[in-house]
Amino acid sequence: MASQGGSAMFDLVAELYPICRSITGRGVRETLRALSRFVPLTVVEVPSGLEVFDWTVPLEWNIRDAYIKDRSGTRIVDFNRSNLHVVSYSLPIRRTVGLAELKTHLHTDPLSRGSIPYRTSYYAPTWGFCLSQDQLDGMHDDEYEVCIDSTLSPGHLTYGEFLIKGRSSQEVLISTHICHPSLANDNLSGIAVATAVAQRLSEMDLRYSYRFLFIPGTIGSITWLALNHARLDRIKHGFVMSCVGDGGAPTYKQSRGGEAEIDRAWAYVLGQGGGEFRLRPFSPYGYDERQFCSPGINLPVGCFMRTPHGEFAEYHTSGDDLGFVRPASLRDSALKVMSVIDVLENNLAYVNQKPFCEPRLGKYDLYENVGGGNASDYRMALLWLLNMSDGAHSVLDIASRAGLPWETVKAALRSLEAAGLLRAVDAPALAAGAGAPGSWSASPVTVTSA
């Protein structure tokens, strides 16, 4: 899939689209099994009832069928036609009710009359159905048979993890949520891009190690952080991915500190892309970056999106379907991620070995023999690297200040290294570190291969 571009990622989105996922249950496991064809996931099962910080791993929810029938026996709302029709985590029910009572359990989106909204009730036991406003308006004052054939019982929260080991034990964390039913952009686009990137990185010689998480939103990241709290100091950089398949401009939401190396890498890559892009400051509302950036954790983790959540009309409705996701956008998102990773991989600090005035570049076959004319990007990259390589500035610092393309800067860097004019040193501490590990521990969990 990694080598086939956006069409292969779209095919994965289409394959996973029909599966009914929630924060627990068979849909998550089925999705992880499908992803394991592409990357060797480790699947972790965390039992219901385990305390994770201020939260508790919930009961496991599974559903087989659900409907609303009219007096003639016709299913006017049918889970088999759209798994969005049922409020996620609905309690089981089978009874006949009047329309007035039924309406207290029905959810619509009046602003998008033809769409089915996505609604959940994870932590407040109830039952409910979602339907379009047009469907609701067509219901008569009559009695209706309602059925939700679900179970809510002790089980497990399930997530997938994949670690690619690099030369360093320091890690880049890439996380995407895996808990939504049939929503193509806000869920499956992030899963598809993360899987393609993981495949590509598996083929490369890497400086950092890369940890991919496919986790239920909120409770999944909280659980993972609780189980891995003592090892968080390994995470050097990170970002969450969601809503990366629509036609909007790429958007990056900064980490809590706002000036971490990952923040500056995303700003540089998007700025060099030549098109529209958006940078947003951190906010404690959003996806799992808010858990990774909580004050006791304080990891340098941002969020990569295209059109942000809640800012497209199809968000959390049946309009977020396969027609809303574009193969070209998936491909562009994957390329943006790989560009950021390339920056992280090569972002070292260097020391100029001829720091007393500018070295005579022609002596090292690095300068044109004929002077005059405007300096090329490559020549400017040579000069910027030599001038700023004092051990305190990274390559990203220099490339950002110079406003030069990354590939040009890398080519100049390699030439200067080969000529013995630059020597790498340890990169400066540019990113905010992890919070103190403390003494938190949580167990037991079951770890298997998908």
* pLDDT, tens only, 318-330: 999 999 999 999 9
Q: Say if 128 falls within a structural domain.
A: yes
What angle (nearest 5°) sits at the alpha carbon of residue 221, between those of residues 217 and 227?
Answer: 150
Q: For position 448, what pLDDT does the model report? A: 60
Whether 307 and 161 map to the same domain: the answer is yes
Task: Note the pLDDT tens digit of each residue in 83-138.
Answer: 999 999 999 999 999 999 999 999 999 988 999 999 999 999 999 999 999 999 99
Whether 275 and 253 map to the same domain: the answer is yes
Q: Say if 447 falls within a structural domain.
A: no
Which CATH number covers residue 130?
Answer: 3.50.30.90
> How many domains, the chain?
3
Could you tell me the pTM of the whole model?
0.92
Q: For position 209, what pLDDT does the model report? A: 98
Q: Say if 100 falls within a structural domain.
A: yes
Q: Say if 148 falls within a structural domain.
A: yes
Whether 234 and 361 map to the same domain: the answer is no
Q: For position 367, what pLDDT does the model report? A: 76
Q: For position 278, what pLDDT does the model report? A: 97
Secondary structure element (H or E) that encloses residue 12, with its range: helix 6-16
395: containing domain:
349-425
Whether 278 and 415 map to the same domain: the answer is no
Average pLDDT, the chain: 93
